[in-house]
Amino acid sequence: MDANLPLRLELTGITKQFPGVLANDHVSFSVRPGEIHALLGENGAGKSTLVKMIYGIMQPDAGEIRWDGQPVSIPNPKSARKLGIGMVFQHFSLFEALTVLENIALGMDAKIPSRLLEAKIREVMNQYGLKLDPHRVVSTLSVGERQRIEIVRALLLTPKLLIMDEPTSVLTPQEVDQLFIVLRKLAAEGCSILYISHKLHEIKALCDTATILRAGKVVDTCDPGIETSRSMAEKMIGGNLKDIVKQGGRSLGEPAFTISHLSLPAAGPFGTDLEDISFSVRKGEVFGIAGVAGNGQNELLLALDGEVASAPGAIAMDGHPVGQLHTSARRKRGLCAVPEERNGHAAVGDFTLSENTVLTARNRLGMVSAGLIKAGAARTFTGEVIAAFAVKALGPGATAGSLSGGNLQKYIMGREILQKPTVLVVNQPTWGVDAGAAAAIHQALVDLAASGSAIVVISQDLDELLSLCDTLAVINEGRLSARMNVGEVSVEEIGLLMGGVHGTPEETHIAPGGEHAVPA
C-alpha cells in the first residue's frame, strides 16, 4: 500500500434506515489502494446494507461516498462496475434455468463472444483451482458451486475494488491458501479488497485492517495481525465469547442411526452418485462429514431425510429400516433435518416464521388437529425459537424473507433443535452466521447430543467439525472415507481427502475405520 496515494474508497457519515431499523448509523471508514480491508460484525450489524450502498443496490439516506478522492453517486450496480467495483454476493443472483456461461454473460456489461468468454472463464477457474463446467445448468449445482460462479464473474471485470462476502466457504484449506495467494497478488497490483468473513482466522491471515460494526455503528478499527480471533469476536458481540462446553467422561449409547452400503444414482446428469456409503451414529454422538461442495453432500442429505428413497435396509433408525419412508414418516419417528439451502428449501421466504414452523414441526409438536392448524401453538413455539437463538426478527409474524441470512439460519437451526429429535442431520449448520451465533448453535448441538440425540453434521468448515464432532469422515465424489477420531487427525490430512487424494491409511496417516472411543 502507498500511503501517498488518494484513498480508493472513503465513507463519511453513511446512514441508512428502514422501518423500525437503523441499519447504518453514521458509518465512516476508508480503504486504500492495494489494501485488504476486513468488514466484521454480527448478523444484522449492517455489513450487507453497507456494501449494497457501495455497489449501488441501495442509496444512503445521509453521508458521502468518495472514490479516488472525488465525491460520487452510485445509482446502480452498472455505475459501480464502471467505476471499477466488483462484488461477490453471499446470496446469489443467478437464473437457475440458464448455464454457468449464460449467467456470467448476463453479468457482463460489454457483449463478449461466447467462445472468448468461455476461454476467459476457464482461465480464471484454472487460476483459482475451482472446478466448474461452464455448460452446466445452474439448477443442477450445489450452493457452493453457485458461489464459484459469483467469484469468477466478479474477477472477470478486473476490478479496482473487489468486495467479497464469505468467499471461502466452498474451498478446501489448500484451495483457500491458493485463493489468498491470488488476492495478495491482486492487492500488490493495486486492487483494493473489502473482505467479509466470519472465519476470523482468515481475517488474521489475510487482512491489513479490520473495521468492526455493531448495531449499525463502527465500534473499532484494528490491525488483525495483532488481534486474536477471540478479541475480534468479542468486539463484534460487545461481550465475552462463550466456549463450547462438553460434558467430561460421557459415554455413548447404542447406534441410533445406521447407514449400510447406501448407493444411489444421481438425480440428473450433473449430480453425484452415492457409492457404497456406510456409517453409524450412536446416541449422544456428533458425527461430522467434511467435503468440498458438489461431492454428494446434497444427495446424501436428501437420502438421509427421506426426500429421496433408498433400498429398504440402507438406512435404519434404532434398528428399524426407514429407507423407503418419506420425510414426514421419518420425522414422526424422530428424525429432523436442515438442508444446505435455507431459502426455498429449509424455509419459504413469503411465509411467516410461524407458518414455516408448521411446515416441519406440525406432527412432532402436535400443531395440527383434525386437519386444522393450531396457530397459537405455532406462534408460541416460534417465539421460543426466536428467544432461545436470539433471532433478530419482528416476532413470529415476520416473513422468513425479511430476515438476514444469518438470522434465518439461526431460526431454522433453532426450529429443528428445539424439537429434540432422536436423530438430527444438518448440512452447513452455521453457514453465514457470526462468531457469537455460531458458538450458540454449536453449544445447542452439543447439548442436544448430551441429551442422547444422534447428530450428523455435514460441513465444509473444518474448524467447526474439529471443535464440534466426536468422529468424522470425508466425502469425495460420492464416496465416504474411513471414520476418523477427531483427536487423531490434522486439518492438512482432512484437506487432502477433501481434495480427492485417496491412499491407504498409512499413506495419509489416518487411522483405519471402525468404532473409536470418544476422546476425553
Residue 349 lies inside a defined structural domain of this protein = no
Query: What are the Cα distances from residue 9, in Å, to 65, 79, 210, 309, 331?
Result: 7, 15, 15, 53, 51
Please identify, among 204, 237, 270, the residue that sits at the C-terminal boundary of a domain: 237
Phi (first) and psi of residue 298, to 5 degrees: -65, -40
> DSSP labels for 398-435?
SBGGGS-HHHHHHHHHHHHHTT--SEEEEESTTTT--H
Looking at the structure, do residues 169 and 69 belong to the same domain, yes or no?
yes
SS3 172: coil
In a domain, 405, yes or no: no
Please check whether residue 138 lies inside any domain of the structure.
Answer: yes
54 in the same domain as 176: yes
Does residue 206 sit in the same domain as residue 265? no
Question: Is the same domain home to 159 and 284?
Answer: no
In a shared domain, residues 279 and 143 = no
My answer on whether 25 and 116 are in the same domain is: yes
Domain of residue 478: give its range: 255-334+421-508
Give the pLDDT confidence of 15-69 residue by residue, as tens digits: 999 887 899 999 999 999 999 999 998 877 888 899 999 999 999 999 999 999 9
Which residue, of 176, 206, 237, is where some domain finishes?
Answer: 237
Domain boundary among 182, 205, 237: 237
Nearest-Å Rg of the Cα atoms of the chain is: 23
Percent of the chain with pLDDT over 70: 92
Q: Residues 231, 134: one domain?
A: yes
The verdict on 173 and 308 lying in the same domain is no
For the chain, the domain total comes to 2
More confident of the two residues 378 and 495: 378
Of the chain, the percentage scoring pLDDT greater than 90 comes to 55
Question: What local confidence, expressed as pLDDT, does residue 505 receive?
Answer: 35
Q: Is residue 268 part of a domain?
A: yes
Cell numbers at 122, concatenated: 476457464
Q: Is the pLDDT of residue 443 over 50?
A: yes
**C-alpha span between 140 and 83 (Å, rounded):** 34
State whether 304 and 444 are in the same domain. yes
Give DSSP secondary structure letters for 246-284: --TT----SEEEEEEEEEE--SSTTS--EEEEEEEEETT
Q: 329 and 210, same structural domain?
A: no
Residue 56, C-alpha cell as written in the block: 449501488
Q: Are residues 291 and 437 in the same domain?
A: yes
* CA 58 – CA 249 distance, rounded (Å): 53
- CA dist 354 and 334 (Å) reads 21
The confidence score (pLDDT) of residue 347 equals 93
Does a structural domain hold residue 360? no
Q: Is 319 domain-assigned?
A: yes
Asked if residue 384 belongs to a domain, the reply is no
How confident is the model at residue 511, as a pLDDT?
36
CATH of the domain at 441: 3.40.50.300
- What does the pLDDT average to over 100-128? 88
Strands (E) in 9-120, as ranges, are 9-18, 21-31, 36-41, 62-67, 70-72, 85-88
- Looking at the structure, do residues 100 and 15 belong to the same domain, yes or no? yes
Q: Which residue has the cell 458481540?
A: 237
Query: In this structure, is residue 403 part of a structural domain?
Result: no
